[in-house]
A and B are shown apart, each in its own frame.
Chain A
C-alpha cells in the first residue's frame, strides 16, 4: 500500500528499533502522509500487520494522539495555537479572524477543500506568539494582515509546490 519510495523509508524505519511495534508512531505518520493526511481503517489494519500487533492496538494508539486524523483535512491544514502565551497576545482573535475569513468553524474544511482549521494546544512557539502551523511550516508573530496575505498566496500556489500535512 505504500509507494516504493515510502516503502524504503518504512523498511529503514523498522531497522532502527529492536521490536517492530516500537516503530508504530513514525509509521502511522508515514501512513497518514501517504493517505492525503488522514487514516482510515484500511491503513490501520495495514499498519497493524506491518508492526505485528492487533488492529485494536493500533486504533487505540491512533485515537490517543491528536495529530492523527480520521477525516481528510484541507490541502492546507491550518493549526492555530490558542494556548496560554498565545492566548495572552491574541491567539484566539487570530483564530476568529481565520474563521470569518474562510467562512468555516474550527474543525471544518472549506467547500473547495483548500483550507481546514484546527485549534491547537501549545505548539512551542511561545516567544513568537501568536503562531500557527500550516501543514509542516511554522508561521509566527501573526497579525490579521499577515494571515490575509498568507491565505491569498496559498490559494494561488500550484499543487506540486506544497507539502502535505
Chain B
C-alpha cells in the first residue's frame, strides 16, 4: 500500500481515498463535523482543514485544504499541528459558536458533544460575539426524535442521512445563508424506522432521542457491548446503563452485520431489560396445587425425586424452547435430553420470516423474525415446530421442559401441559407456562448474563452482561448445567464458568463451531462460514 505523511508519520492509503479517511483508519485524530464514513462528502464544516506542505510533487497547496475531500497522494506531506492549522481550527470554532446557544447545562448531548470536544481542544476559549444569536422556531417532528434547531451547526448529516441512507427524503435544507435550516417538510413528521440513528450522527444536541431526554447525563453512563434481540439481524449494540438501569441502547459499528445503524424498535428493547413486574424472581415449586418459594437445592432435589419415580423414557420427554435462548442454552438443553433421557425431542418455535430487499441497506435490517436465534436452533439440530407434529408427541409426554416462553399463543400446546406428570419452566419472565408449571427456575435476561446468538446470516455474535441480576436468579446456562448433573452419582459440580460451558459446546460440536475458545469470539463476532474455512485450513495444515 502507498503511504503519505501526516506530521511525519507514514499513513497507508488506498488509491482514491481521502486524507481524513486514511488518517482515521490509522487512528489519528483530525477534528471534523460534517464528515461521516457512511455519507457523501460535502466539505462544508471546514473543521478538518490541514496544511498540505507537499502535494506529492514538491509544491505546497496554496491554502488550507479540507482533508475530507482531498485525495491522498503518494509522498504527500501534511501538517496538522502548525500555527496555520491551529488558526484555521480556531476560526471555524469561533464562527460555529457565534450562533450556537449556550445550552450545555440543559442539553442531552453534553458530555458526548463533538462541538464541546473540539471547542475545548481547538477553540480559543473566549468569545467576541456581542449580538443576539439567531433563533429558529420550534416544532415537534415526530415520536422518536426531538429537533432543537437553535443548536444546529448545519453539518447536514441529517439531510444526507434521509436522502442517502433511508431514501425517505424527509429531512432537507431550507432557506439559505444564515437562515439556513435543517428540518422536515412543512408540517410533516418523520416516519422512517431509523430516526434514532439521526440522533447518533448529529454531532450536537440538535437531534436527540425523546426516550432518553433528560434521563441521565452522558458521562454517568457505563457501556457494555451487546447484541440487539429485537429481530434476527442482531445489530451490534452498546448497552448504556447507570445504577443498574439500562438508559438506552446505541448501535455499534459492524460492517458485516449492521454497518453503523440500528432500528428504532430495537432501541426500545431497552425497556424489556429494565422490566421487573413480569420477572420470575425466585425458584418455586408447586405443592398440592399451590406455588411455594423454595431454595435452589430443594427444587433440584424435588425434581430429581419426581423423575426417579417417573423414570420417563425417551419418547416421554419433551422440551420446548423459544428462539430468544442462546446457543449455549440450546446446546445444554439438547444435551440434557440426550444424556439423561436419551431423547431428541427438543422443539423450537419455528417461523417463516421475510428479509426485506431494498437498494437501501438500512431497510434490510428489520426482519419479520422478532427473535435473535432461530438460526442457532436450526444449526444445533433442534426440531422446528413447522416440520414436526409436536401435539402428537406431547400427548405421550410425562416430562415437559419449557425453556423461555415459546408457543404462548398455542392453546393446544398449553392445554397439553396439563396432561404431563412434571412440567418445568426455566425462564426469566412469567407467562402462561408458569401457571402450568410444577417447578419454576428463574433465569436472567440478556442484559444480565453471557451468551451468544447466531443471526439470520449465520453470523455468530456474543454479548456481555451489563446489569447486576437479583441474587435469586441464575443464568439459564447455569441452571441447565446443574440439571444435567442432578440426580447423578457425581455430586453437583462446582458452579461452572461460562467459558467452560462455551468450550464444551465448541469442542463437542467442533464441526459447527471449530473448537473456538471464548476469548477468540470478540466484539465483532465471526461468520460461521469464515470460521469453518479457517478451521478447515487449520485441520489441513495440522
A interface residues (Cβ-Cβ under 8 A, vs B): 41, 53-57, 59-60, 63-64
Contact A57:B169 (CB < 8 A) given known A63-B174, A64-B175, A64-B176: yes
On chain A, the residues within 8 Å of B184 by CB distance are 56
Most buried by B among A59, A60, A63: A60
Measured between beta carbons, the chain B residues less than 8 angstroms from A56 are 169-172, 184-185, 188
In Å, the complex CA distance between A98 and B102 comes to 42
Residue of A nearest to B171 (CB): A56
Chain B 159-181 interface residues, beta-carbon cutoff 8 Å to A: 169-176
Chain A residue with minimal CB distance to B187?
Answer: A41
Whether A60 and B186, one on each chain, are in contact in the complex, defined by CB atoms closer than 8 angstroms, is no
Q: Which residues of B contact A59 (CB under 8 A)?
A: 172, 174, 185-186
Q: Chain A residue with minimal CB distance to B173?
A: A60
Subset of 5 A-B contacts with CB under 8 Å: A54-B169, A56-B172, A56-B184, A59-B172, A59-B186
How many residues on B have C-beta within 8 angstroms of the other chain's C-beta atoms? 12
- Rounded to whole angstroms, the CA-CA distance of A90 and B127 in the bound complex is 38
Contacts of A53 in B (CB 8 A): 169
Q: Give Cα A76–Cα B5 distance, bound, in whole angstroms.
A: 63
Q: How far does the Cβ of B77 sit from chain A's closest Cβ, in whole Å?
A: 39
> Interface on chain A toward B: helix, strand, loop, or mixed SS?
helix
The 9 A-B pairs with the shortest beta carbon distances in the complex, nearest first, are A54-B169, A60-B172, A56-B185, A56-B172, A63-B174, A63-B175, A56-B169, A64-B176, A55-B185
Q: Which residue of A is nearest B174, CB measured?
A: A63
Say yes or no: B175 contacts A57, CB within 8 Å.
no
In angstroms, how far is the closest chain A Cβ from the Cβ of B46? 21
B-side residues, CB < 8 A to A, are 169-176, 184-186, 188
B152 to chain A, nearest CB (A): 15
> Which of B169, B173, B185 has the most CB atoms of chain A within a 10 A radius of its CB?
B185
Minimum C-beta distance from B141 to chain A (A): 12
Since A41-B186, A63-B175 are in contact, a sample of 20 more A-B pairs with Cβ atoms closer than 8 Å, ordered by chain A residue number, is A54-B169, A54-B185, A55-B186, A56-B169, A56-B171, A56-B172, A56-B185, A57-B169, A57-B172, A59-B172, A59-B185, A59-B186, A60-B172, A60-B173, A60-B174, A63-B174, A63-B176, A64-B173, A64-B175, A64-B176
Q: Which residues of A contact B176 (CB under 8 A)?
A: 63-64
Query: Once bound together, how far apart are the Cα atoms of A41 and B184, in whole Å?
Result: 14
**Closest A residue, CB atoms, query B167:** A54
Shortest Cβ gap from A71 to chain B (Å): 15
**In the complex, A41 Cα to B171 Cα: how many Å?**
16
Residue of A nearest to B182 (CB): A60
Q: Shortest distance in angstroms between B483's beta carbon and chain A's nearest beta carbon?
A: 57
Distance between Cα atoms of A63 and B185 in the complex (Å)? 11
Complex CA distance for A64 and B171, rounded to whole angstroms:
15
In Å, the complex CA distance between A56 and B163 comes to 10
Residues in chain A near residue B170, CB distance under 8 A: 56
Cβ–Cβ < 8 Å partners of A63 in chain B:
174-176
A65 (CB) vs chain B CBs: closest residue = B176
Cα distance, A143 to B176, chains bound together (Å): 33
Most buried by A among B172, B184, B186: B172
- Collect the chain A residues with CB atoms within 8 Å of residue B175's CB: 63-64
| A55: chain B residues within 8 A (beta carbon) | 185-186
- Chain A residues with Cβ below 8 Å from B188 are 56
CB proximity of A35 to chain B, nearest CB, Å: 16
Give complex CA distance A162, B169 in Å.
40
Q: Which residue of A lies closest to B180 (CB)?
A: A64
Q: How far is the CB of A120 from chain B (nearest CB, A)?
A: 16
Measured CB to CB, the closest approach of chain A to B491, in angstroms, equals: 69
Q: How far is the CB of A56 from chain B (nearest CB, A)?
A: 4
Q: Which residue of B lies closest to A64 (CB)?
A: B176
The CA-CA distance from A57 to B173 in the complex, in Å, is 8
How far, in whole Å, are A55 and B174 apart by their CA atoms in the complex?
12
Closest Cβ of chain B: how far from A7's Cβ, in Å? 25
Q: Within the assembled complex, what's the spacing in Å between the Cα atoms of A41 and B169?
A: 17
> Chain B contacts of A54 at CB under 8 A?
169, 185
Q: Which residues of chain B are near A41, meaning CB under 8 Å?
A: 186
Question: Which chain A residue has the least Cβ–Cβ distance from B176?
Answer: A64
